[in-house]
Amino acid sequence: MKILVIGGGGREHALAWKISNDSSKPRIFCAPGNAGTATLGTNLAIGAADVNAIAAWCAGNKPDLVVVGPEAPLCAGLADKLIAAGIKVFGPSQAAAQLEGSKIFSKAVMDAAGVPTAKSASFTDCAQALAYIREQGAPIVVKADGLAAGKGVTVAMTVAEAEKAVRESLEKNIFGDAGKKVLIEEFLDGPEASILALIDGEHVVMLASAQDHKRVNDRDEGPNTGGMGAYSPAPVVTDDMWPFIREEVFNRTLRELKKRGIVYKGVLYAGLMLTSKGPKVLEFNCRFGDPETQAILARWDGDILPALIAVADGTLKEKYVRWKTDASVCVVMAAGGYPGSYKQGEEITGLPAANRIPGAVVFHAGTKLDSGRVVTAGGRVLGVTAIGATVREAVDRAYEACGKIQFANAHYRRDIAWRALKTAE
């Protein structure tokens, strides 16, 4: 069996790693991949967003399944193009991917479906948006409508901060086309959780809960990032929440999409705020999260390909997804200066020693091979992941593995999973 994984980050290394451990022993190709995926299969010199080049490679090589990691190629219609050519794809259509590609579209779907979410209003006119902010007051959230590489959301604690975000998007055009429209939402408070589900167009199979850490520094301080670590399961997602989340979030969204003639096949990620009034959706993503995927897939028990293929075929069943009772923790090792400016090309050492820690696996994110050396090639460099019988054991193993790895100006948080550890005490 031949599998093509699209993307070159930590999520894609985790997917390729999990697929490589399947009993079918598939051949793995990654476009473009990274230094980690190169140890599992063949990296291709094709960018993840180069839809035409990916389609051309697939036409000549006929993979049995294409697993799409990032959102950009999905929003650009990669799945549609491949399916039209007879290639099986794990990932939603362009229309379905607008749940992530357009925050305004996503909000319209949620509101129509009755999905619990923050109240909001959308604007293209700067003066009207500013007037709305002044009327609502702060704190308030300003979001660029389109894909902005994770930088289009401002949680404004003052009116002035919100006004600045609106002006930057609508007047200064700092996000380009992605910021020509803005969504302004009420501020929600509470712990966040990441809930993902596999969907084959009809059936929803929930995946294990996870919780991300967005702030760059310990104690949740500093600027937001793409994610500095994650763990699974998340104790804040209690047993009584699961039926509510399945029905009120996933099933309602699926039904509303069907009303609009949209069939969703792939993974749907719901970022939830667990408010005092119950779970509310902050955002939808049309792909696996990062670094949640690293933590979740470490706990997946058995083969993953039957589930991914069943999603594409419309034959998904609960039996395809099983979980280890172990907890898992992923600690992101980042380049110094991230999420601001940072150096690249720093040599990384100690990776074999880290991977020898019991229960640990190091997922590459921003890495590449340079004359046989593994060097940094991004802001989030590695996702050091470990499983353990308890959260404490998983945390200890992950940090022991981190201690084996060196590269210049490496930065990582020392308190990943602190909420789960506090709950366990």
What backbone phi and psi angles, to 5 degrees, belong to 387? -110, 155
- 78 and 37, same domain (yes or no): yes
Q: Is the pLDDT of residue 30 over 70?
A: yes
Q: What is the pLDDT of residues 369-405, one digit of tens each?
A: 999 999 999 999 999 999 999 999 999 999 999 999 9
DSSP state of 207: P
Q: Which of 111, 105, 112 is nearest to 178 (CA)?
A: 105
Mean pLDDT for the stretch of residues 242-258: 97
Q: What is residue 51's predicted lDDT score, i.e. its pLDDT?
A: 97
Instruction: State whether 176 and 222 are in the same domain.
Output: no
Task: Specify the CATH number for the domain of residue 68.
Answer: 3.40.50.20
Q: Same domain for 140 and 213? A: no
Q: What six digits make up the tokens of 65?
A: 């399944």
Is the pLDDT confidence value at 150 over 90?
A: no
Residue matched to tokens 């390729």: 16
Do the Cβ atoms of 297 and 14 come closer than 8 Å?
Answer: yes
Quick one: 150 and 172 in the same domain? yes
246 and 133 both lie in a single domain: no
Query: Is the distance from CB of 255 to CB of 192 less than 8 angstroms?
Result: no
Residues 218 and 340 in one domain: yes
- The pLDDT score that the predictor gives to residue 341 is 94
Question: 352: domain CATH number?
Answer: 3.30.470.20
The answer to whether 104 and 283 are in contact (CB under 8 A) is no
187 located within any domain:
no
Average pLDDT of the residues in 266-287: 96
* Separation of first and last alpha carbons in the chain: 46
Q: What is the pLDDT of residue 186?
A: 96
Average pLDDT over residues 61-80: 97
Q: Which tokens hold the place of 149? A: 């590489």
Rounded to the nearest angstrom, the gap between the alpha carbon of residue 294 and the centroid of all alpha carbons in its chain is 10
Q: Are residues 290 and 159 in the same domain?
A: no
Asked if residue 393 and residue 345 are part of one domain, the reply reads yes
Residues 419 and 284 in one domain: yes
Tokens found for residue 21: 């451990």
Mean pLDDT within 279-286: 96
Determine the average pLDDT of the residues in 90-94. Answer: 98
Average pLDDT, the chain: 96
In this predicted structure, the answer to whether residue 298 has a pLDDT above a threshold of 90 is: yes
Q: Is the pLDDT of residue 250 over 80?
A: yes
Structure tokens belonging to residue 133: 């902010």
Q: Domain holding 138: CATH number?
A: 3.30.1490.20
Could you tell me which residues come within 8 angstroms of residue 67 by beta carbon, excluding any fewer than 6 positions away? 3, 4, 5, 6, 15, 19, 90, 91, 308
* Tokens of residue 54, six digits: 């990916």
Note the pLDDT of residue 251: 98
Q: Is 420 helix (H, G, I), strand (E, B) or coil?
A: helix
pLDDT at 230 over 70: yes
pLDDT of residue 356: 98
Sign of the Cα pseudo-torsion (390, 391, 392, 393, in order): positive
How big is the CA angle at 87 (ends 82 and 88), to the nearest 5 degrees? 105
Domain limits for position 263: 192-424
Q: What is the pLDDT of residues 157-204, one digit of tens each?
A: 999 999 999 999 999 999 999 999 999 999 999 999 999 999 999 999
Tally of domains in the chain: 3
Q: Is residue 275 part of a domain?
A: yes
Asked if residue 54 has pLDDT above 90, the reply is yes
349 falls within a domain: yes
Residue 285 belongs to a domain:
yes
In a domain, 263, yes or no: yes
**pLDDT bracket for residue 223 (50, 70, 90):** confident
Using an 8 Å Cβ cutoff, are 27 and 2 in contact? yes
pLDDT tens profile 108-124: 999 999 999 999 999 99
Q: Which of 94, 115, 139 is the endpoint of a domain?
A: 94
Burial class from Cβ neighbours inside 10 Å (0-12, 13-18, 19+) for residue 352 reads exposed
Confidence of residue 425 (pLDDT cuts 50, 70, 90): low
pLDDT of amino acid 197: 98
